[in-house]
């Protein structure tokens, strides 16, 4: 192909291919894109045409790899730098960014890890943990930037139960591994070990634009989930009693403690307009 007649579009396609798809470059040989680098890029006093192009190629993968490590810091620790980099590089090859925002760079990473899990023949549990952890970390970044104004009247212990409303940035997550505890330990500078499978539940709240993570029990998760769906304390309570077979007396016994902890953690605001 005569590169002197490359259209603007062909030139950009060529260069992008060199960056994103890692087309092999060998000096003076035609590339997969059909054109020798020397026919397109000028050499300078100090660098060959290929070396000039390599600056962009190296920076592309190094910059995006670094962004992936920032977005998945706990996963990087869990996998180790080398293995994380391997997965991240493959991911970036498979799912090059389609967004102007780097915040969405890792959007498909969890599903990519599922698609490419190395134990397809005989399933092991550690890939499940890594996949969940990746999904969890991406979810946190989405919640961190969620549209909402964090200026609501926090509920107090004196707020009547039927006036309790969940905070506008409040999310409930369930996992097959103790993901939240693992993440919290990592965030605190500890060195958590790979956990065994264990069903876990967690609440994520954004207060004053900071995230709070709370491990909660299965019954609490069920109750709060129903509150989220029905926007009603009474309905959530009834569903917990009826569907989980918890006696009314037992609920009445634990509720004051739950309420105190939920309010201390900022889960509830007062019903607007009260």
Interaction site with other proteins (CB under 8 A): 3-4, 6-9, 11-13, 15-16, 19-20, 39-42, 44-47, 49, 51-53, 55-56, 58-60, 62-64, 66-67, 70-71, 96-103, 105, 140-141, 144-148, 150, 187, 206, 209-213
Give least dist CB 184 to other proteins, A.
Answer: 8
Give least dist CB 141 to other proteins, A.
Answer: 6
Nearer to other proteins, 47 or 241 (CB): 47
Nearer to other proteins, 144 or 255 (CB): 144
Q: Starting at the edge strand that comes first in sequence, how are the strands of the sheet with 170-175 ordered?
A: 170-175, 200-207, 210-216
Give least dist CB 71 to other proteins, A.
Answer: 5
Give least dist CB 185 to other proteins, A.
Answer: 12
Q: Do residues 248 and 242 lie in contact, with contact meaning Cβ atoms separated by under 8 Å? A: no
Nearer to other proteins, 29 or 56 (CB): 56
Nearer to other proteins, 52 or 117 (CB): 52
d(CA 248, CA 242): 9
Query: Which three-class secondary structure string do you get for 130-142?
Result: HHHHHHHHHHHHH
Give least dist CB 68 to other proteins, A.
Answer: 9
Nearer to other proteins, 62 or 194 (CB): 62
d(CA 206, CA 55): 40
- DSSP secondary structure string, 146-166? -S------B--TTS-GGGEEE
- DSSP secondary structure string, 217-234? -HHHHHHHHHHHHH--HH
d(CA 182, CA 195): 8
């Amino acid at each position: 192909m005569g590169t002197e007649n490359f259209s603007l579009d062909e030139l950009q396609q060529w260069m992008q291919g060199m960056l994103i798809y890692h087309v092999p470059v060998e000096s003076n040989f035609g590339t997969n894109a059909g054109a020798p680098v020397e026919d397109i890029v000028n050499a300078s006093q100090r660098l060959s045409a290929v070396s000039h192009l390599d600056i962009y190629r190296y920076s592309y993968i190094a910059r995006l790899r670094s962004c992936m490590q920032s977005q998945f810091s706990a996963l990087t620790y869990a996998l180790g730098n080398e293995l994380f980099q391997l997965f991240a590089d493959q991911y970036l090859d498979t799912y090059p960014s389609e967004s102007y925002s780097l915040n969405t760079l890792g959007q498909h990473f969890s599903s990519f890890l599922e698609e490419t899990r190395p134990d397809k023949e005989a399933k092991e549990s550690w890939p499940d943990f890594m996949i969940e952890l990746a999904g969890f970390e991406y979810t946190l970044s989405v919640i961190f930037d969620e549209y909402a104004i964090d200026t609501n009247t926090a509920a107090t212990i004196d707020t009547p139960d039927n006036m309790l409303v969940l905070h506008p940035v409040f999310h409930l997550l369930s996992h097959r591994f103790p993901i939240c505890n693992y993440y919290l330990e990592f965030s605190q500078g500890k060195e958590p070990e790979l956990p065994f499978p264990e069903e876990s539940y967690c609440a994520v709240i954004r207060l004053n634009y900071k995230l709070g993570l709370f491990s909660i029990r299965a019954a609490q998760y069920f109750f709060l989930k129903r509150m989220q769906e029905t926007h009603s304390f009474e309905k959530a309570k009834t569903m917990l009693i009826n569907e989980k077979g918890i006696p009314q007396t037992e609920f009445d016994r634990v509720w004051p403690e739950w309420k105190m902890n939920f309010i201390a953690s900022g889960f509830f605001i007062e019903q607007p307009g009260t």
